Amino acid sequence: MRELESSLQQFGEFLLKAQVVRPAAAPYFVRWVRRFLSRPASDEPLADQVRGFCEELERNGGSEDWQVRQADQALRVYFVNFIKRTEWHRRPASTVVDEQGSTTPLAALEQLRTRLRTRHYSYRTECTYVDWVRRFLDYAAKQQGVPHPRVASEVVRDYLAQLAVRQQVSASTQNQAFCAILFLCREVLGLNVESLSPGVRAKRGERLPVVLSIPETLALLGAMSGTPRLMAALIYGGGLRVTECCELRIKDLDFDQGLVFVRRGKGDKDRSTLLAEVGRDQLRVHLRESEAQHQADRKAGLAGVWMPDALDRKYPNAGRELGWFWMFPSRTLSTDPRAGIVRRHHMSDSVVQKAVKAAAREAHIHKPVSVHTLRHCFGTHLLLNGVDIRQIQEYLGHAIVETTMVYTHVV
């Protein structure tokens, strides 16, 4: 018991010294670890024990969702960053499909993540597919009255039908759910559901994007302040997607040539676009703030930033270099969902999304404005100024010019 309390005391000191969490949250992290270590010893792998602990918190109903996430993060920080244990790889609880043809949801989701990562799908797509498959398996289990449902073409068709008829989802949402379930059936369960495609794929209509006039755009940006305004101006000046802006690294901005380099954009493609002259001074000031945050993280001994394509193994120190640091780093630390390491991630896109919504209300703009609207404004305003549509296609990263042609209808 004394050894446990001594270890927990050192863990609390580690949290405060390394600035892993806010000082007010450090005691709660220590309590979650104490509660986990007080359980009876088990021979299960560490990842399975932590997963079981979090599932027990959910089942009991005494802990809210944010508390379960906090407990999971506390245990990851303790074992991975403090104790430095590396056996954090999950394994399926059992076979995906048993002899009776029933599907084990937990094993199916684990295998789904593995197949998606093998195919190099983005993490956002992985989360979307896993969420749809979880909903589908829950629906099938309730319909069949068993915890491990049988998946067949009829079940898939019924689920998509209730999405369209009862929940009245859009065509794109229905097709997204179908793609996720189709991937599950093909790659995980080994089922042939090709006959479903003609019958359940929803027909999408043609929609025009929402575009602001130049005065409306200036009013929107004028109603914003701080880092969200800087990000919104960068998105409008270069036609960036919101995730592309959030994931910018310091090395991706070329002030001398006036270019922004987008790495691993949609479709895993690189491109370059414009860095507007207006706001460059503010960007340079923000760059110095990011450099200061980078130096503080290095002094605290935190792990380097996330590196794509296993570059952290090829270049072990690259994640700690300034050039790879985020242009818009988050104020708080978070757990890497794949590696399980607590590190500093980039700013969440929800921050700038909420700021744009609030600015639209303040500027009395009654159109349905989002961050992506600024990307549409970039393409439309360039077209109005006589820029060649092929050049706009390159700036926006569209695979075909027909996608860019939609702005001619807006004009």
The domains found in the chain, sorted by start residue, are 2-82 (1.10.150), 105-200 (1.10.150.130), 214-410 (1.10.443.10)
Instruction: Give the pLDDT of residue 90.
Output: 45
Q: Which residues are catalytic?
A: 241, 266, 372, 375, 398, 407
- The full 3-state SS of the chain, as one line of letters, equals CHHHHHHHHHHHHHHHHHCCCCCCCHHHHHHHHHHHHCCCCCCCCHHHHHHHHHHHHHHHCCCCHHHHHHHHHHHHHHHHHHCCCCCCCCCCCCCCECCCCEECHHHHHHHHHHHHHHCCCCHHHHHHHHHHHHHHHHHHHHHHCCCCCECCHHHHHHHHHHHHHCCCCCHHHHHHHHHHHHHHHHHHHCCCCHHHHHHHCCCCCCCCCCCCCHHHHHHHHHCCCHHHHHHHHHHHHHCCCHHHHHCCEHHHEECCCCEEEECCCCCCCCEEEECCCCCHHHHHHHHHHHHHHHHHHHHHCCCCCCCCCCHHHHCCCHHHCHHHCECCEEEEEEECCCCCCEEEEECCHHHHHHHHHHHHHHCCCCCCCCHHHHHHHHHHHHHHCCCCHHHHHHHHCCCCHHHHCHHHHHC
Burial of 47: CB neighbours in 10 Å, binned 0-12, 13-18, 19+: middle
First and final CA of the chain: distance in angstroms? 73
CB-CB contact of 213 with 369 (8 Å): no
What phi and psi, each to the nearest 5 degrees, are found at residue 106?
Answer: -60, -45
Q: Please report the sign of the dihedral spanned by the C-alpha atoms of residue 330, residue 332, residue 337, residue 340.
A: positive
What phi and psi, each to the nearest 5 degrees, are found at residue 298?
Answer: -70, -40
Q: How high is the mean pLDDT in each 10-residue block of the chain (411 residues)?
A: 76 74 83 87 80 82 79 83 59 64 82 88 89 91 86 87 87 90 89 66 79 95 94 95 95 94 90 91 94 91 85 88 95 76 88 95 94 95 93 93 88 77
Instruction: Give the pLDDT of residue 322.
Output: 95
Spatial strand order of the sheet with 259-262 comes to: 253-254, 259-262, 271-274
Q: What's CA 254's distance to the chain center, in Å?
A: 26
Q: How far apart are CA 52 and CA 113, in angstroms?
A: 19
